Amino acid sequence: MRIVYTGAFRFPTYDAAAARVLNNARCLRALGHEVSFISWGGKYVSEGLGTGEFDSFDGFRFAISGELDGKISIWKKILRRIDRGGASLRILKSLPQSPDLIISYNPDLVSNVRLARYARRVSAKYANDITEWSDKKELRLVERITNAINLKCFTKKVRNRIVISDYLDSCFGGGNNVVVPPLVDLSGTKWAVARTVARSDGPLTFIYAGNPARKDCLHTVINCFQDMLSGGAELRLLIIGITKERYLEGYSDLLKTSNLHGSIVFAGRVPQEEVPRYYAESDYMVLLREDDRKSKAGFPTKFVESFASGVPVVANLTSDLGRYLRDSETGFIVESNCSEALRRTLERILSLPAGRHAEIRRRVAEESHSFDFHSYTDAFSSFISNIV
């Protein structure tokens, strides 16, 4: 089967969305299907290309439409919003052979309708890969309306869906669904390095990885660490994905003080390929999220990256995390997303003997295979067999 995967991701390795579609495609390729990508952003946009030429990565052909990135005028931004997905659709139409299946990643209403119509026109099957359901407070009024029409009406008519959580599976019942969390390729050297690096002596290091949004309660984590460090606790917080200056600029109103302790370290943005090295320096990954629709619908990629690196997770339970996060075995469950609950959990962790941390890490390394793409080939095989 010829499959085209398209949508608002930055192929090949420039955001979490690209990592998701890449590993889903690896599952499909392992089943004998030919997968190519039409990405809205990615590798060549900064070089001013993004004109639809096809290149290859890891054996996959891909083209970049240039719809996500680059500095453009206000007028072009308006036109781009009106014509969302249009450039990718034109590349799709120019292919010498029409695909047998089109998979659209998190399409908005306009691109979803247009792609579904094109698929019918060329007798191709059509599927959505759905990883989120935005909370109302994140959207402007017009976006709330179109988002609701897309997800509550149109997407429910799409019969084939790859969904990232049980919550989304329940929202879109009655079709050919497959639940697939973010996946990784554990056979690659990227994650193997992190799993084999020995931890250095010193205070326990906790890592937060990613560009924080208000859904991630990083401010709560920082406030908690600040209080504990000021009280003499021996621990360290490493934050990658944003600089200290950028964080304070956007979120200082959520912090108790902007005069942060020296053991709260901001490493800034790092290339995706270097992320495992930072996990390798850490003993635990910490993640607090609001218990709202967005968190229930999604699945944090950083949780999977932490497990892939053999690093236990300290988190409150949202989405399907409870399926993998077992208290005192593969990490520690925080009762809620408040500072006091995190403090109690951190105090439990700090009281453990050194050997216990190593034991928990071994269990996480074993559990990490739950996110290896090889473990999902059967699920994708059933999905493809039931495509309508």
- For residues 383 and 61, give the distance between their C-alpha atoms in angstroms, rounded to a whole number: 23
Cβ contact 3:101 at 8 Å: yes
Q: Do domains 2-183+372-385 and 189-370 have the same CATH topology?
A: yes
Digit-coded pLDDT (tens) for 204-244? 999 998 877 656 789 999 999 999 999 999 999 999 989 99
**What are 119-147's pLDDT values in tens digits?**
999 999 999 999 999 877 777 777 788 88
**Of 192, 194, 186, residue with least CA distance to 369:** 186
What does the pLDDT read at residue 354?
A: 84
Q: What is the pLDDT of residues 13-29, one digit of tens each?
A: 888 899 999 999 999 99
Q: Is the pLDDT of residue 323 over 80?
A: yes
CB neighbour burial string for 170-203, b if at least 16 within 10 angstroms, e if fewer: ebbeebbbbbbbbbbbbeeebbeebbeeebeeee
Identify the CATH number of the domain defined by range 189-370: 3.40.50.2000
pLDDT at res. 227: 95
Residue type, 308: A
What is the reported pTM? 0.91
Q: What is the dihedral of CA 287, 288, 293, 297, to 10 degrees?
A: 20
Nearest to 63 by CA among 132, 105, 11: 11
CA distance 240 to 243: 8
Question: Given this model, what pLDDT does residue 48 score?
Answer: 46
- In single-letter form, the type of residue at position 280 comes to A
Q: Which residues contact 253 (CB under 8 A, 6 or more apart)?
A: none
Quick one: fold of 2-183+372-385?
A: Rossmann fold (3.40.50)
User: How buried is residue 154: exposed, middle or buried, by Cβ count under 10 Å (0-12/13-18/19+)?
Assistant: middle
- Both ends of the chain: CA-CA distance in Å? 14
Residues 6+ apart with CB under 8 A from 376: 27, 180, 183
pLDDT tens by residue, 28-37:
999 999 999 9
Confidence bin at 311 (pLDDT 50/70/90): very high
| Residue 154 DSSP code | I
Distance (Å, whole) CA 158 – CA 172: 9
What three-state secondary structure class fits 124? coil
Give the total residue count for the chain: 388
8 A C-beta contact, residue 228 and residue 259? no
The C-alpha atoms of residue 58 and residue 61 are separated, in whole angstroms, by: 9
- Integer-rounded Cα Rg, in Å, for the chain is 21
Instruction: Report domain extents, the chain.
Output: 2-183+372-385, 189-370
Give dist(CA 244, CA 379) in Å, integer.
Answer: 42
**Which amino acid is it at 384?**
I
Candidates 24, 16, 36; CA nearest to 92 is: 36
